[in-house]
Chain A
Amino acid sequence: MEKTIICTVCPQGCRITVAGEGSNITSVTGFTCARGESYARQEFVCPMRILTGSVRAEGAVEPLLPVRSAERIPRDKIPECMKILRTVTVKPPVKIRDVVVKDILGTGVDIVASAELAAK
């Protein structure tokens, strides 16, 4: 299988072609730096993304608390993660980086608060 990936590491946006099967990469062409090559390899095998979203807040000045994955998680886990976030409610006070969902979907990555939450 061959995939053309647009690199997003820097504004240059090199088009990198990766060939391989699953996690077995046979060739990577079109990159102009090492960061680009490693990005393309990861993107081919398992695209990773930072997940951002919101959870409901109760008794707070705002109805929602923005949250984020502390690190990148596999892109294909995101729809399932969004479903989980819908079931979560938080109460103030909340500080940035407080854990909202620990180790989401067994990724080893926490979903953490991305803003402070003050009481009403």
Chain B
Amino acid sequence: MPKQPMETDVLIIGAGAVGCAIARELSRYELKVMVVDKNEDVGGDASKSNSAIIHTGYDAKPGTLESELVVAANPMYDKIAEELDVPFARIGGILPAFNEEQFEKLAGLREKAFLNRVYDVDYLTAKELLKIEPNLNPKVMGGLYIPRESIIDPFLLVVGYAENACQNGASFLLGTRVTGIYTTDGQVTGVATTAGDIKAKYVVNAAGLYCDEIAAMVGKADYKVNPRKGQFFILDRNTACKVNHIVLPIPTKVTKGKLMCPTIHGNMLVGPTAEDLEDKLDHSTTAEGLESVARDVANLIPGVRLNETITQYCGLRPNKVPEGVCVDVYDDVRNYVNISGVRSTGLTASASLGRHVVRKLMEIGLAAERKESYNPVRKGIRLFRDMDYAEKAEAVKRDPRYGRVICRCECVSEAEIVQAIHSPIPARSIDAVKRRLRAGMGRCQGGFCAPRIIGILARELGVPESAILKNQPGSYMVVGKSIE
């Protein structure tokens, strides 16, 4: 039977932080909103493999759109974190100088911060820095303190945006790749996808790493996106050498440099590298890359225990050539918004980009009434590990599956896993469950829980275990029954 043709007012290509933030903003209006993404889950590419930092914008290029967006976004996160139930903390960042050359750069960095309208940047002496960050290299001569540099759970931020958009009427078509954009008389009318055509009045390109390929579909690829790989270490929560702040190296032209910071869940994060690649599919960590992280971070935190690592990963920053965040509309491709150049600060800028893009859409003609029923609040799954004993006792009475701890490292119960599988944006893969609950992110890295979660997913989704994926199609976990 032929499927009903899909139709929407606004189609967003890409369900990363930016795409989902835009969807959330649009869901405030009486509009049909649809987000399409080739991945099997929301989270995008770069949005799920980054340093999880909400930047202040102190080191952006002054006067650029990026600077404006990041500086504006940072203060929005207290409210967003509360509304969307996302773990977030303003732990502050420090920029320590360890030699004359670096020390001399501090004034300029502070001046640059001011030009970016980030005024709350203070000088700290070596003594003050070592007091608040005892594991800092004792050679430190002084540095800057940026109190609003913050950390967040990046997976839950994107899931939060997406679920809130969903609960306010937006729809998500995942595992679906856009293969072409239809235009008639210089105006977009919809997209072709692997799941069929979607008629759309407006199309937004929020495809991050692939935004150049989407732009090419309307003949607007006057730029290229090259992946810039960043490799990271995650250290065990019990690691002996920790930091309290985001410890930042003095930036160079190429990269913010290799940092060390806590994650919102208490691990330590160390990295990233900055390696320019050709291949957008190259998600591999390398011995050389990891070694360079080890070398560089040792300058900041000499006692860092990289042998207490529980995992390493890499993310691909969508690096646009030429650089620069742009939100473009065109006279000859109407009703289309092109977002490009969103890179290291994409996660941060998502909050303001959401509003910026909606405003842009309205400038080019999108008419929309405010939705009376819009509810900005999204409650996440109530986590077993956050409950006190009284709440745990209540929970297990309500649902005995709270009494079955599946991920023992992060203390995740079967009840929450089942909830995640049946949530508004259902978790249907091992990684989707992992990102929502942290099951598999602990020190045993899924050694204990993954076999059990395969069973739970198969049961809840009513499919054989051989159909359960780690993430994308082809990532089967098991080949079938051991004895049929």
Residues of A within 8 A of B (CB): 54-56, 64, 85-86
Contacts and interface: CB of A to CB of B under 8 A. Distances in A.
Nearest to A55: B483
Contacts of A55: 483
A86 to B, nearest CB: 6
Nearest to A82: B483
Contacts of B484: 86
B482 interface: yes
Given A56-B483, A64-B482, A86-B483, 6 more contacts: A54-B482, A54-B483, A55-B483, A64-B483, A85-B483, A86-B484
Closest 3 CB pairs of A and B: A56-B483, A86-B483, A54-B483
A110 to B, nearest CB: 19
A56 B481 CA distance: 11
A93 to B, nearest CB: 20
Contacts of A56: 483
Interface in B458-484: 482-484
Contacts of A54: 482-483
Contacts of B483: 54-56, 64, 85-86
Interface in B406-426: none
A30 B162 CA distance: 72
A54 B481 CA distance: 12
A100 B101 CA distance: 78
A58 B482 CA distance: 15
A57 to B, nearest CB: 10
Nearest to A56: B483
A24 B482 CA distance: 40
A77 B94 CA distance: 69
Contacts of B482: 54, 64
9 contacts: A54-B482, A54-B483, A55-B483, A56-B483, A64-B482, A64-B483, A85-B483, A86-B483, A86-B484
Contacts of A85: 483
A85 B484 CA distance: 11
Q: Name the residue among A55, A56, A85 with the largest chain B CB count within 10 angstroms.
A: A56
A64 B483 CA distance: 9
B197 to A, nearest CB: 44
B412 to A, nearest CB: 23
B481 to A, nearest CB: 8
Nearest to A86: B483
Contacts of A86: 483-484
A85 B483 CA distance: 9
A31 to B, nearest CB: 39
A28 to B, nearest CB: 40
A85 B482 CA distance: 12
A55 B483 CA distance: 8
A86 B483 CA distance: 6
B80 to A, nearest CB: 45
B241 to A, nearest CB: 40
Nearest to A89: B483
A56 B483 CA distance: 7
A46 B483 CA distance: 29
A35 to B, nearest CB: 36
A56 B484 CA distance: 8
B287 to A, nearest CB: 35
A88 B484 CA distance: 11
Nearest to A54: B483
Nearest to A88: B483
A70 to B, nearest CB: 21
A31 B145 CA distance: 73
Nearest to B455: A63
A86 B481 CA distance: 11
Contacts of A64: 482-483
A52 B484 CA distance: 18
A89 to B, nearest CB: 9
